[in-house]
Structures are given as C-alpha cells and as structure tokens.
Structure 1
Amino acid sequence: MSYARLPGLPIVDAMTPAVLVLVGPVTRDEVAGLCDDVRALLEASGAGVVVCDVGGLGPPGLGAVDLLARLQLAARRAGGRIRLRDPDPALHALLDLVGLRFEKEGEPEQREPALGVEEAVESGDPAL
C-alpha cells in the first residue's frame, strides 16, 4: 500500500505553537520585520500562540521591553498572543516593573489553578 504524502510536517497540528527565536540585540529597523513574522506565524499555524524564545536576546533593557510590547501588540491584532520561553530573571523583573505581563512557557495560565492547590473551607461555612 502507498499513499501520497501530505505537505508539511505530519505531527504538527493546530495545537502546536509556532516558535520565533529572538537573537539580540535587535535593532529598531528589525522590529517591523519581526512583527510581520509574528503575524505570519499566527496565520500559518492557526494555534493562536507564538512562543518567543528570548534566551538569546541579550542583556535586558528598554529595547527588549519595547520589542516584546510591539510583538504582543502585533499578535493581539492578529487574534493571538505571545508566550515567552527562557526569559532572563532580570528581563522578567523589568517587564513587571513597567507593568507588562507575559505568559511564560511552563507556567500555568491565569485561568487555570496550579496543580495541587486546594481551597480551604471555613468552619462556619454552610455545606452545599
């Protein structure tokens, strides 16, 4: 038996996020092209999430914050979002300082409770 091979990777489906590796430092001229890359990856994968590998981005600074904010904006305009892979702790702290929240790969989403968390019951609560 034989069959025609379908184009693309057979193990990749709509639930597999696309990955964009960011190697820095990124110049201001490259930002628009990276935003286009995020939009193209969202359209091609259909997953709604682009994982941005920021491990090689270089020392954290306002340039990295600006880049990630623009990538998130481009992703949201395209109907998706970005998730960070391997962020430097200093970059994560700087993003928190300026008020930008990003999902990190390997962390539970805000909508999901962390595993092993149980709710406490007050002794005066009525039973349901």
Structure 2
Amino acid sequence: MPCSVESASLEPKFGNKFIAGGEDMWVRVFEFHTGEEIGCNKGHHGPVHCVRFSPGGESYASGSEDGTVRIWQTGPVSHEDNESVSGNGPSGKVKAVAEEVTRKIEGFHINREGKTGEKATDA
C-alpha cells in the first residue's frame, strides 16, 4: 500500500476489487487478488477516514476530516448524470459532493435502489 490506510471496503457484487482511503487524502482502487492499484481519486482536502461501496458496487462514498462526503461512480457516467456533476471534481467521477456542512451528518446509507438517506442534527 502506498500510504497508511484508515478504511477499506470490498466491492460487494463480484468481490474483485476494493477501495482504501487514508492519510494522503486519496481514495485508491485495488484489484483484490493481486493488490495492484487500478485507479485513484483525489478530491478531499483532509485525511479520508471512511470508505464504503454501495450494495450493487456501482458507486462508493468517501468521508474525510475536511468535513465532506463524496460519492464516486465506479463505471462510465451517462450523459444525463454528467450534467449534474459538480465542476470541482474529476469529470465523470464525482456523483455528489457537499462542500458546506451546516448540520452534522450522523449516518449515511445507500440502499439498493440508489437512493440515499441521512439523519442530520444541528452542528
């Protein structure tokens, strides 16, 4: 591993890759059987403390000390999705990002239908 890992998650559908986040602020994608790095994403401005794949493996979320949660898509982005992607992330990679947090997020869940739910309280 190129850095110290804080969190890792195995792709649930095929189990052929895993993601890892850590102190270097990158989220890295590895081939499960060889350990070879097959991709990485940069977008956080602080250590990445939590990463999780969605149940179908089509996306994953990363949470950072910088106060942001980013949702990354693992495959190609359709044209409709591209129009709503934030301009400050890698084109076609970030599905959603919260840059300004006014309430504390206590939990985050991506269900099988791809809808998200959160429980928030005042910070």
Q: TM-score range by the shorter chain?
A: under 0.3
TM-score (norm 1): 0.23
| Bigger-Rg structure (1/2) | 1
Tell which has more relative contact order, 1 or 2 (C-alpha 8 A, sep 6+).
1
